[in-house]
Structure formats: C-alpha cells, structure tokens
Structure 1
Amino acid sequence: MLELVDFGKSYDGVNAIQNVSFNVNEDEYLTLLGPSGSGKTVLLRLIAGLDRPDTGRIILNGQDITTMPTHLRGIGFVQQKYALFPHMSVRQNISFGLINHHSSPIRDEKKVNYLCDEMLDIVGLSGLADRGVGQISGGQKQRVSLARTLVTKPKLCLLDEPLGALDANLRERMTVELRDIRTTLGVSFIHVTGNEDEALGMGDRMIVLDKGCVIQIEEPNKLFAMPASVKVARHVNSYNILSGSTENNSFVFADYKLPMAAYAKSAAFYVVGIDKVTIEKVGSVKRKAKDIASFEAKFVDAEFMGSRVVYQFELADGQIFEVERHLSRETPVDYKAGEVRCLSWKAADVLAFASDGGLINENAKIRGTV
C-alpha cells in the first residue's frame, strides 16, 4: 500500500534520513524502533507531507504523492503530545475533522454524532463524549487523539510515540487496545517508539532505525532471535555483548576464554541473550568445553521491571553482564552485593559477529554489516 524509495532529508547539512526504503502492507501494524535523534519523527513528517524529502519518492496505493499537499494524502497523524483542543469536549475534538474536512465536510449533526459515537465505542470511551478534555486521564486523551484521527477514515495512520507519556500499567493496557483498534478498523499503522519492548510486542513487522538509516526490517520474533548486526542487538537491549578475538575455537576477552563454533573463527563480538544465562553456585557447573560456556562474576544489583527481574553481575574487566528471570516462573533470589556466582549458557545460544558488526552465519558468511 505504501512504498518509500531512497528517502533522504538533511537539515543545515546534517543528514537526518539517508537512503531509506521500505514498504507498508495493507492491514499491517508496522513498528519503527530507534533512539532519540535517529530520525523517527522526521520520517513520519515526510510521510505525512509536513516536510518535503530532498531525495526519493513516496508511493501510496500506486500513486506518487511525494509532492502532494498534506491534506490531500489521506494519511492520519497522531502526535506525541495529543494536540487536543482544551476548550472543547471529547465529542467536539473528535468531530472537528469531520466538520472541517478539506473536501467532504459533514454538516449533518446527527451523522456527525453517529460517527463520533461509533468511534468512541471502538476506542472504549463511550459515556465520556461530553466531558472536557481536562477532565480525562492521559490514556483517555491518547484515545481521543487517536479517535479524532481515525474518524476521518485515513488510508494509513502514523503514531509518534503514542505511549511515551503514559505510566507503565496504562502503557501495557494501551498496547493491547491499540492493536485491537487497528484490527477492528483494518487501517495500517506505522508506530514509532524508542521502547524495544513496545516495538517487539506490537508490530507485525519491525524496522530498526539508526542515525537516519534502516539497519533491519523483520518480523519481531525473528529479529529478536537473530539480529542482523551488533547495532541491532544493542537496540533490542536484551543481549550481553562481549568484544574480543578468537583463538583455537575459543573466544578470548579480558581474562576469559569461551567456547566458540569453528565457523565463527573471525568473530570480534560474542553475543548471548540475557534470558539464556543461568546462575549457579561456584563449582556446581560441569564444564563441557564444546557445549557449555561459563565464568564467575560478582553480583552488583537487581532491577525489577514488572513481571521480570534483571540481575547485574560485574566481570573481571568491569563490564556488566545481565541475567533476566521472569517472576511467573521462579521466585527472585536475594543475592548479596559482591557475592560470586557462576554464570553459564549453552554454546549453541551464542551469536557471533565480525569486526564490522555483521552477523556470521553457519556457512561463515557475514549476513549483514552495519
């Protein structure tokens, strides 16, 4: 439905977006993950027509809309700060786009109210139509903003960090509601976020953006399991990344030597998921050089994150090595600061990356370099 071809945009000689190409399918929830300054909002503004790209084209349903004015594109934009009218009620905010539509405004009050009530029901705000926007919660404001955009039936909806201002509990609930709303209406979403859990959990496909460049596009479960580069692994934020060199089928860094598959003899980065590591008492792990990797490390701290806890251990070189545990599966352990434990994982769970950051596959070929 939407295709971006070689998009580029710079401001004062600084590249904000570089050679970005991707497509959005019909009836798809596409998430776009990137840190602050990576070009996420710039990209949405270009798609919406609020800014003009320096290079490239944008195709919507077969039509080149690169130079088309914003109001003719049929693309909805839900901004991060809601942008609601504070002097209007919930209903008046939602109906604004219907009454003031550029080409087909609706003046019939009964029809406007019907469409508003229908949308209020879809976004779960029935009964709040006559409330002032200052009388509703942050999550409700987000849904009003979404309803105001969707009531005009856009071909595509852009969401700029829609959950960023919500507390953790509300954010978790809204992740489910947004997907349900999109499914009900059958409108494709592009959802921009800096939160890796949000991007992985909500998208049918996921794009990772870094310094204005797309560095991977993939289904979230596949991207999580097999990041194409060290940069992607860092953005996913669920991996321990060690840098070093290989020596006789072992990976060497600091004072450690870890088993490494023969095909990864050129590896410069040794990467293991924080959920793949076990914590044992010192001396309890039976080391088998070919299939188990392990080392000792000092416990530093534990960070509770809702339904999971992340334990932090310090290695000999001072690097922090993390271990994730889900509280639904086991009771958290109260380790003491400075306590030494043995951390171990299966060698088969290790990902190897070359010095340029590209993933090394089992045929000793580099799959992606960024």
Structure 2
Amino acid sequence: MLEIEHLGKSFDGNAAVADFSVTVQDNEYLTLLGPSGSGKTTLLRLIAGLDQPDTGRVLLNGRDITATPTHTRTIGFVQQKYALFPHLSVRENVSFGLRNHYLNPVLDDAEIKRRVDAMLEIVGLRGLGDRGVGQISGGQKQRVSLARTLVTEPKICLLDEPLGALDANLRERMTVELRDIRAALGISFMHVTGNEDEALGMGDRVIVLDEGRGIQIDRPDVVFGRPRTVRVARHVNNYNILSGRVEQDQFLCNGHRLGLPEGSDGAVNYVIGVDRVSVNAAETQDAPGHVSIQAKFIASEFMGSRVLYLFEGPDDAVFEVERHLSRENPVDYGRDEVVTLSWPTAEVLTYASNGLLLHAPELKEVAA
C-alpha cells in the first residue's frame, strides 16, 4: 500500500503539487487525469524519489520512504519516452534491470532467462526477445519498457502517459492489455494521463488533478456522472457548460430562461451532458419536464464510433451534441439549418459560485 500525505512541491515560487494526499490500495489501478501543467509528472517524480518534496511524506507499506534514494524504493517508473537501449535486443533491454538492480541483482543466466521469458509472455512479446528494438513497433517498444520495469518485481508501478505516443488503434488495445498485465502481476499501477477516456476507462478510481491539487478522487462513474466541481466537469470534457444566474426559479443566461432542477438556488453554472441533448425539428414544441432552445447547425466531427455535432445557440453559445453510431445513423444537417435542442430538466447539473456541485441526476447502477 502506498500512502501519500500532504505532498507539496514548488518551483520558483509556483506550486507544482499542493497538499496532495491519497492512499493507493494493493492491486489497485489508479488513474490521474489532468491537463499539461497540472503537476502529474512532478507528482510521479516525487513518489519515485527523483525529486524531493517541500512538504509531506511518502509511505510504502507503512515505511516512510520520503528521503529514501530512488534506487532503493522498490517502485517502478515507466516514463513517457521509452528510453530503450538501441544497440541491445529486446531480451537484453529487459534483462538490464535485473542485472543492474541495486537491491537484488540477478546474475545467474538461467534465472535471468526464466524471468525475462515469463515477463515477455505476460506483456505479449513472446518470440520477440532476440529482435533489435529498431525492428519492433511503437506499441511493442512500450511493452519492452514496461517489461524492463516490471521484471524487477516492484511493489508499485508508476506510468507517465504510457499511451501518449501510440496511435488510436494501439492505444485502445493497450488500455485493455495494461489492466490485464496488472492483474496478472497482482501489483498496483498509478497511471497519469491527459486523456479523459483513458483515465475513466482504465482506473478502479480516478483522481482529477488541477493546479497540483487532487480536486476529486472517486470511482470513474462518479467522476463522470457527478463531477464534484465545475472544474472537474471541464476536465471530464463531456458537458455543455453555461454561465448565468438564478432568477425566479429559472436560470438566466444571456437573456434566456432555462428550466432548473430543484436544489439549484444560487447556481452560476448550468451544465448538461453532450449525450443528453436531443435534436429535433425547429417547430418542435416543448415537452413536459424538458428545456428547449433554438439553435443552428455549425459543423460535425466524425470520431470513429461517434459523431460530435456543433450548434450555435442564443447569443453565440456553442452546444455540443454527441451521438453513438452503434445506436443511430449520422445525420447530414444543412449549414445554418435551424433545429430545436432539448434536454430533460432532471438531467441538468448545477454549480454554486464557489464551484461546488448543487444538483446532479442520480447515478444509474452499473451492471455487474
């Protein structure tokens, strides 16, 4: 178990990590989501011992390792760049960590072969041990880097944007394979990324990192469906976010009144999911319990399994509407075509002036 207590680190007076605390459970896959500059890599470097914190401490299985040198921490670190030795084979790259391990170097050739072969099998590289690293794909290089770290049997593995350099197909495959590898080894993974789909799809829990602070730590379905703050909602990148104020039990936004769910007094942000908005003919009448506005079509973006439509609402407000192609065919709207956008009032999320959640729909139970 890894415990991080009130960790802080500043550079030139600017906080990169601020009062960060979390406990990573045994065998947990924990993802950290945040944009560039949010402190993700700095946090991993503090845990690995590559940088020293200004405040706080790091404990591994109850032992304070804050001042322990990096090479004695039994923590693996897979960095964004593969950092493989180009003149060595796949097998030699993986075995390098065993032969040169500070605490428990392995010098017996038979034992090295046994452990390297077992690790290559786990990461899906069986039969490729004798190839040069220049003869394998980007996804295979990422697995070599992972194998080199994991073959030394660390207590926890830190992954810094491990899928960032891969193309979309490889990234999708590796999201499944990384979870399978972690399960096979029975250790904890702490994986940082700026991709919300990656974070939500891979983590047992997700931490949303913003300006060096963990602003929400929860299950993926909770982070996605009930963002604790409006900043989390922006990081999740699945919502239309409007600003305004409450007046006479309605949300006033750019002179337009929108229906509000109960418990939204004092709301300054009105939020609706991109997959909760319906697109109807311009003359469609309001349905009970729904909010409707007129908008015109701007553009659409094909995203593989889904299509994102952009509409311009009142006072130039841009609304995003997402449709999954597994459920309906794409629609070819005409440029500047006028439509009615509508959504259930009960599906609206509202946030107070301090950014905290006021109202959100109940989470739907996820089938086991």
TM-score (normalizing by structure 2) = 0.96
Counterpart in 2 of 1:100? 100
Q: Distance in 2 between matches of 1:213 and 1:221?
A: 21
Equivalent position amino acid for 1:351 in 2: L
- 2:33 corresponds to 1:16: no
The residue type equivalent to 1:249 in the other structure is D
Higher deviation after alignment, 277-286 or 337-346:
277-286
* C-alpha distance in 1 between matches for 2:129 and 2:248: 70
Decide which of 322, 325, 332 is 2:323's aligned counterpart.
Answer: 325
- C-alpha distance after superposition, 1:8-27 (max 9, x if no partner): 00111111111101110000
Determine the C-alpha separation between the residues in 2 that align with 1:144 and 1:205.
Answer: 26
| Partner of residue 54, structure 1 | 54
Aligned equivalent of 1:7: 7
Deviates more, 1:313-322 or 1:174-183: 313-322
Q: Show the counterpart of 1:177.
A: 177
Partner of 1:350: 348
User: Residues 196 and 235 of structure 2 are in contact (CA less than 8 Å); yes or no, is this contact kept in structure 1?
Assistant: yes
Distance in structure 2 (CA, Å) of the matches to 1:343 and 1:4: 46
Q: Contact 2:261–2:359 (CA<8 Å) still a contact in 1?
A: no
Q: Distance in 2 between matches of 1:44 and 1:104?
A: 23
| 1:224 aligned counterpart, secondary structure | helix
| Cα RMSD for the two superposed structures | 1.0
Q: Deviations over 1:56-103 (max 9, x none)?
A: 011110000010010111000000001111110000000001111112
Per the alignment, residue 368 of structure 1 pairs with none
SS of residue paired to 1:263 = coil
SS of the residue aligned with 1:264?
A: coil
The residue aligned with 1:206 is: 206
Q: Give the deviation of 1:323 after TM superposition.
A: 0.5
Structure 1 residue 255, shift from structure 2 partner: 3.6
Partner Cα distance (1:87, 1:200) in 2: 37
Aligned residue in 2 for 1:298: 296
Residue type of the partner of 1:360?
Answer: L
Partner residue of 2:166? 166
The residue aligned with 1:155 is: 155
Q: Once the two structures are superposed, what CA deviation does each residue of 1:231-259 show, in whole Å capped at 9, x if it has no partner?
A: 00000000000000111211110142111
Alpha-carbon shift at residue 262 of structure 1 (Å): 3.7
Which whole-Å deviations, capped at 9, do the CAs of 1:89-141 have from their partners, x for residues lacking one? 00000000111111221111111111111111101111110000011100000
Does the CA contact (< 8 Å) of 1:249 and 1:261 recur in 2?
Answer: no
Q: Note the residue ranges of structure 2 that are not aligned, 5 or more in a row.
A: 361-368
Runs of 4+ in 1 over 3 A off after TM superposition: none
Shift of 1:317: 1.7
Contact 2:230–2:351 at 8 Å: present in 1 too? yes
Does the Cα contact within 8 Å between 2:286 and 2:292 map onto a contact in 1? Answer: no
Q: Is the 8 A contact 2:262 2:359 kept in 1?
A: no
Shift in CA distance, 97/137, structure 1 to aligned 2, threshold 3 Å: same
Q: Which residue of 2 aligns with 1:35?
A: 35
The reply to whether residue 336 of structure 1 matches residue 334 of structure 2 is yes
Query: How many residues are matched?
Result: 360
What is the identity percentage for the equivalent residue pairs of Structure 1 and Structure 2? 63
- Does the residue aligned with 1:355 lie in a helix, a strand or coil? coil
One-letter code of the match for 1:353? Y
The residue type paired with residue 156 of structure 1 is I
Q: Distance in 1 between matches of 2:283 and 2:313?
A: 17
Q: Which letter does structure 2 place at the counterpart of 1:3?
A: E
TM-score after normalising by structure 1: 0.96
